[in-house]
Amino acid sequence: MSTESLSIFSPQLAARFDALVEKYPLRRSALIPMLLYAQDEIGYLSDAVMEEVAERIGITTLDVRNVASYYSMLRFKPVGKYNVQVCTNISCMLRGAYDIFEHLQDRLGIGHKGVTADGVFSLEEVECIGVCCWAPALQVNYDFHDDLTNEKVDDVLASYRAKARSEQAEGGSAHA
C-alpha cells in the first residue's frame, strides 16, 4: 500500500511509512516504529491501524497485535489528549513520587489509567523513565518534567490545560 488515498494516515505519515519499510534489511523491522508513530497520530492502535500496518509490512493483523501487546507504550484504547505518566520507581519514590501521584489523582479526579471527562488528561503510573537524577519526574506524552513539587505539577497541568483550550478555540473557529 503506497497510494496515499487508501491510507488511514495523513499523507506525511503514509509517505514516511513508505520509506520506513525500505530502510531495513528486513521489512518487518519497521513494525514497532510504525505502530508508535501511527499511535502518535491516531491516538491508539485501532483495528484499522493494525490492519494497515500489517498490510504495509506483509504480515497478518494477528501477528501485529501479538507484537504490539508486548510493548508498554502501545495501547489499544484511547487516552487523554495529554497523557500524564508519573514515574514511581525507586529513585523517584525516594523523592516523593507517590505524593506527586496522589496530588495528580486529586487534581484530575482520576486514578491510574483514568481519563478525565473532557478527554484532556489521562493519568498513568509508570516505571523508570530514565531521569532518575532529576527525580521526581513525569512525562506528558513525550515531554519530560522533572524536579517536581506539587506546585510545579499544578503549573504543568495549567500549561497543558491552556494549550488544550487554545487549540480547541482554533479548531472551533476553523470549523465555524
Partner 1 sequence: MPRLVSHPDEVKIVTRRFGMGAAEIDRYIELGGYESAKKCLEQGPEFIINEMKASGLRGRGGAGFPTGLKWSFVPKQSTKPKYVLVNGDESEPGTCKDHLIFLHDPHAVIEGTVIAGLAIGAKTGFIYLRGEYRYLIEIVEKAVADAYAKGFLGKNIFGSETEFQVIVQTGAGAYEVGEESALMESLEGKRGVPRIKPPFPAVVGLYGGPTVINNAETIATVPHIFAMGGAAYAAVGSERNGGTRLFGISGHVERPGVYELPMGYNLKKMIYEVAGGVRGGRQLKAVVPGGSSTPVLLPSEIDLGMDFDQVGKAGSMLGSGGVVVIDDQTCIVEFALRTISFYAHESCGWCIPCREGTDWLKKSLTRFHAGFGTMKDIDNIQYLAENMMGRTFCPLGDAAAMPTIGFVKKFRKEFEDHLNGKPCPFAKHVEVALV
Interface with partner 1 (CB under 8 A): 23-26, 28-33, 35-36, 57, 66-67, 70-74, 88-91, 93-95, 98, 111-113, 125-135, 139, 142-144, 146-147
For residue 142, the minimal CB distance to ligand FES (Å) is: 15
End-to-end Cα, the chain, rounded Å = 35
How would you classify residue 141: left for phi > 0, otherwise alpha for psi between -120 and 50, otherwise beta? left
Q: Among 91, 82, 92, 87, which residue's Cα sits nearest to residue 156?
A: 82
For residue 129, the minimal CB distance to partner 1 (Å) is: 5
For residue 39, the minimal CB distance to partner 1 (Å) is: 9
Residue 125 near which of partner 1, ligand FES, none (CB within 5-8 Å, type-dependent): partner 1
Of 127 and 154, nearer to partner 1 (C-beta) is 127
For residue 49, the minimal CB distance to ligand FES (Å) is: 29
Q: Residue 140 is which amino acid?
A: V
Of 34 and 126, nearer to ligand FES (C-beta) is 126
Sign of CA dihedral 143, 164, 73, 30: negative
- Between strands 138-140 and 143-145, the pairing is antiparallel
